[in-house]
Structure 1
Amino acid sequence: MAERTQERDRERDRDRALPRIRLDQPRVRRPRLLPEYDPEAFGRLSERIARFLGTGRFLVWMTLLIIAWVVWNVSAPENLRFDKYPFIFLTLMLSLQASYAAPLILLAQNRQDDRDRVNLEQDRKQNERSIADTEYLTREVAALRMGLGEVATRDWMRSELQDLLKELEHRDGDRRDLFPDEGARGSDVPDR
């Protein structure tokens, strides 16, 4: 029994020695070995570069640079040439440019695919809402049509009134008996 108590005391002392993790406070950031960067800013930069690489201006400048490079290294004095005939340094520079251009273009394409995916999802949701609205309006128009079938139209009212007028004309003699002349009784209240 005493051993259990001593063991519990040791565990309690160990728990007190460890720093307690608090959930109401942010965690302490650990130092990183790799540098941190903003992926969104890097993505925007890669899109700008990829957009420039796909223009005619880039092709013209690249062509002029290569022509100047070759002309300089062929026609310049021997001691001023920095890349002799097989143009190994030019090949290295073009390979380096291509090795960076390809991943930048792929990154820009991936970002564009993500934007397209989001736009397609928004378009799909908008289409679903439009379809639901159209179905609702279709049901409402159908209900109005059904309701209008039960509503008295102007022509129907006109025919009913004409029928009543004809019926009253046939009863013209009976009408005088039903509504005697008020003036004959000597009423002093005028009709309104």
Structure 2
Amino acid sequence: MGADRESRERAATGATAAPRRGRLDQPLPPRRWFLPEWDPEAFGRLSERIARFLGTGRFIVWMTIVIIVWVLWNIFAPGALRFDGYPFIFLTLMLSLQASYAAPLILLAQNRQDDRDRVNLEQDRKQNERSIADTEYLTREIAALRMGLGEVATRDWIRSELQDLVRELEERYAEGSGDERVVFPAERSRVRDVDDR
């Protein structure tokens, strides 16, 4: 009877047959994971450190020392203290276990290095594109300046024009008589004023 009543209430309110899990404006509660969680970045850094150590001479020296001590202990120690007999099966198992973990850790470290290299190459490519664009821009600007400098009066040209004007003034001054020496004739200045406008 109670279930029948709930279905009638849903039909009256227009609700769907499936019950709502919660409000849409609120996030769902976090799901519980039964597997352990880890930080991929921290795990990647740890794998890189291990791979870096595995690639050093120190690791080879320590590994050689451990194997020599292991073999010598299991050969020369009293029988009750030996834990791995002559075929050294436990040593083989330990070396296989170490190799089975070392290979994936090294591959993970290489993948992370490849990702970093890819990002660096992309940044280098973008930097090169920017440098090329800047160089092309500067080349265009320099070409425009050179073209503009072709129309600009240079120091030598201005000096020669001033020397010519001084010579012309000196000649006119020398031609004038007594007090009537005119440096700038009136007719000539009017013509220049008209032309300058």
Deviation readout 1:87-123 (Å, 9 max, x if unpaired): 1110000000000000000001111111111111111
Unaligned runs of 5+ in 2: 1-7, 184-197
- For residues 109 and 32 of structure 2, the distance between their equivalents in structure 1, rounded to whole angstroms, comes to 30
2:22 touches 2:28 (CA, 8 Å); kept in 1?
Answer: no
2:54 and 2:105 mapped to 1: Cα distance? Answer: 10
Query: Which residue of the partner structure matches residue 28 of structure 2?
Result: 27
User: Which digits, 9 at most, give the CA deviation of each residue in 1:56-85, with x for residues without a partner?
Assistant: 111100000000001111111122111111
Q: How many residues align?
A: 173
1:125 is aligned to 126
- Code of the residue aligned with 2:143 in structure 1: it is A
Give the 5 Å matches for 1:7-26: 9=11, 12-14=14-16, 17-22=19-24, 24-26=25-27
- Which one has more relative contact order, counting CA pairs under 8 Å at least 6 apart? 1
* Cα offset, 1:16, TM superposition: 8.9
Q: How many angstroms apart in 2 are the aligned matches of 1:119 and 1:142?
A: 34
Counterpart AA for 2:182: L
Matched letter for residue 49 of structure 2: R
Q: Quote the RMSD (CA, aligned, Å).
A: 2.3
1:141 partner amino acid: I
- 2:108 aligned with 1:104: no
Identity percentage of aligned residues? 74
Q: TM-score, normalised by structure 1?
A: 0.81
Letter in 2 for 1:130: S
Instruction: Tell me how far apart the structure 2 counterparts of residues 136 and 167 of structure 1 sit (CA, whole Å).
Output: 46
Per the alignment, do residues 158 and 13 of structure 1 end up closer, same or farther by CA in structure 2, a change over 3 Å counting?
Answer: closer
